[in-house]
Amino acid sequence: MRLQDKVALITGAGSGIGRETALLFSQEGASVVAVDINDVAGEETVAMVKGAGGSVAYVHADISKAADAENMVRFAEETFGKLDIMFNNAGIMHSSDDNAITTDEEIWDLTMSINLKGVFLGCKYGIPALRRAGGGSIINTASFVALLGAATPQIAYTASKGGVLAMTRELAIVHARENIRVNALCPGPLHTELLMKFLNTEEKKQRRLVHIPMGRFGQAKEMAYAALYLASEESSYVTGADFKVEGGITAAYVTPE
């Protein structure tokens, strides 16, 4: 098992990438701390992991609040004795997020508080725990839009994910000599509830799909496997990376036939 005896904290574990990663990490031997703001969804993930024979515990957290972020890390250490893997995955993509002119300031602030500040707080309280464990892996969910502009405007989301990518690089440098690796997972467009709510018309979906060389949306489970590599010792010489799992979208924009 690739994560035998490891303890992994996963934010946004109630759905999408977070849920699939909780299931996969558990299958690979990790004890999982599932974190979400939606308790029903979070407990559903816990039930799925337990049903598959995994070791898991749930804790509620609003990752944009320092007290909640600190508590989720404390909970992980108190429940499982340590923390080896921090997957700062939770995020939002608001349906009212548009271009700079039409996006309301409150949508900007909300997106930044969760997508960027939430990752900062996860690292703020997670890094000391990883130090206590003798090192570990931090994975921050960024996006392909941290590297490219989005065809469908989403200014706050794009800016927040760019911030996650920049922060990841700096943290990787600062903590490289402490046996703490910090990498950014950059998913492409995924067939998840988060994106499908945003691309809520067939026109919007096709506008995104036409730019993906592989011609399809990715699946959350495919991102979980990428996170597994970054969490495991197989990536022991990988830090500060923007790990792209995006169907080729950043390699070349393609035009319809």
What is the secondary structure of 20-73 as a DSSP string?
HHHHHHHHTT-EEEEEES-HHHHHHHHHHHHHTT-EEEEEE--TTSHHHHHHHH
Work out the angle between the directed axes of helices 155-174 and 117-132 (0-180°, nearest 10). Answer: 20
pLDDT given at position 252: 66
Residue 253's pLDDT is 58
What lies within 8 Å, CB to CB, of 152 at 6+ separation is 198, 199, 204, 207, 208
Which active-site residues does the annotation give?
A: 157
Question: How many CB atoms sit inside 10 A of residue 148's CB?
Answer: 16
Task: Report strand pairing: 85-88 vs 7-11.
Answer: parallel
Report all structural domains of the chain as residue ranges with CATH numbers, in order of start. Answer: 7-188+219-245 (3.40.50.720)
Q: pLDDT tens digits, the chain, 257 residues: what are they?
A: 999 999 999 999 999 999 999 999 999 999 999 999 999 999 999 999 999 999 999 999 999 999 999 999 999 999 999 999 999 999 999 989 999 999 999 999 999 999 999 999 999 999 999 999 999 999 999 999 999 887 788 999 999 999 999 999 999 999 999 999 999 999 998 888 777 777 778 877 787 788 888 988 999 999 999 999 999 999 999 999 999 999 999 886 554 44
pTM: 0.95
Is there a contact between 172 and 240 (Cβ–Cβ < 8 Å)? yes
Extended beta strands in the chain, E state: 7-11, 31-36, 55-60, 85-88, 136-141, 180-187, 242-245
